Amino acid sequence: MPSSPAPELPVLDDVEDAARRLEGHAVVTPLLESPLLNERLGCRLLVKAEMLQKTGSFKFRGAYNRVSRTGGRGVVAYSSGNHGQGVAAAAKILGLPSLIVMPGDAPAVKIANTRAHGAEIVFYDRDSENREEIAARIADERGADLIRPYDDARIIAGQGTVGLELAAQARAAEASLDALLVPCGGGGLISGCALALAGLSPDTEVHAVEPEGFDDTARSLEAGRRLANEAGARSFCDALMVPTPGEMTFAINARLLSNGLVVGDRDVARAMAVLFACFKVVAEPGGAVALAACLSGAFDCRGKTVAVVSSGGNVDAGTFRDALEGAGP
């Protein structure tokens, strides 16, 4: 069997095209700054607040950009979380049917939210079934489009609009960025942002941030090839749990990223508390890792101008309360 041709990687033009498509549909999330935290850290720190995006995470951007190019038969996605909500919300706005494949043990609130965005839900058994196969089969049966979470040029380009906005907002704030830190799971958000920054702010170093146990991109960047995480690893950062870097995303990241940084659960909880106290926003654990890298010293931000992306805020009240408590006063 001949191997399929390598999928075409997105470029800056695709990110700018996505930005035009998202205009009036996505929230232009603010780039926040806290003089108090700046003083404490000895740096200038800017936070791109993507928890304020529609559906509570950046995922809406890529989903809308991708779903807006699909036919009338609708879309199918597999996701236990933010990608599913993004696809469902985008499909609803575009008047298309959506179906999300979710694990049977997904939290009730995520099921309810996905349903409220108008999606049909099909459950699968995490232990015995393969969600990608189920989603592909359903898409095939219905003539619907399967929307992958990150290995898709339109998804990457859509997420990259975070970087486009951020670069323009930093310029307006007279901030010349030394570094940008971005949470990294499959790598869609950071690869898109890296494309945008390479074009608009080429002197800015871009760093991936991952939680312990899911540092596949950090290790893969060092090795120069895609490495997997240990099977069965768990993390507080549910949104960042992937088996390996994406194929397309890693092809971009290997070329454009400086390196990968790793943070622990305690650092993440502390970052959630700082986002609460200094920026008045709600971050989910995976959405707090980039700030955590600055607070923990995994990234030395002193004397620099640094932007961090806070990628989402879909966290339940109990987890959030625990993070505030564990982080101390």
Binding site for a copy of itself (CB under 8 A): 24, 27-30, 32-33, 35-36, 39, 49, 51-52, 54, 56, 89, 92, 113, 116-117, 172, 273, 276-277, 279-282, 313-314, 317, 320-321, 324-325, 327, 329
Nearer to a copy of itself, 33 or 212 (CB): 33
Nearer to a copy of itself, 51 or 193 (CB): 51
Burial of 227 (0-12, 13-18, 19+ CB in 10 A): middle
Order of strands, sheet of 44-49, starting from the edge strand that comes earlier in the sequence: 31-33, 44-49, 305-310, 179-183, 205-211, 259-263
Report yes or no: 276 and 253 within 8 Å, Cβ to Cβ.
Answer: no
Nearest residue to 73 (alpha-carbon basis) of 145, 149, 152 = 145
Query: CA-CA distance, 45 to 39, in Å (whole number)?
Result: 10
- The catalytically annotated residue of 59, 68, 79, 235 is 59
Residue 56 CB, nearest approach to a copy of itself (Å): 5
Q: How far is CA 301 from CA 173, 218, 291, in A?
A: 18, 19, 10
Order of strands, sheet of 75-78, starting from the edge strand that comes earlier in the sequence: 120-124, 98-103, 75-78, 145-146
Nearer to a copy of itself, 93 or 153 (CB): 93
DSSP code of residue 51: G
Nearer to a copy of itself, 215 or 267 (CB): 267
Beta partners for residue 218, in sequence order: none
Residue 99 CB, nearest approach to a copy of itself (Å): 18
Query: CA-CA distance, 233 to 210, in Å (whole number)?
Result: 13
The answer to whether 311 is a known catalytic residue is: yes
Query: CA-CA distance, 195 to 220, in Å (whole number)?
Result: 19
The answer to whether 34 is a known catalytic residue is: no
Q: How far is CA 34 from CA 43, 133, 167, 266, 276, in A?
A: 11, 46, 18, 22, 12
Nearer to a copy of itself, 80 or 314 (CB): 314
Residue 25 CB, nearest approach to a copy of itself (Å): 10
Nearer to a copy of itself, 169 or 220 (CB): 169
DSSP code of residue 312: B
Residue 290 CB, nearest approach to a copy of itself (Å): 16
Q: What are phi and psi of 101, to 5 degrees?
A: -90, 120
The residues annotated as belonging to the active site are 59, 311
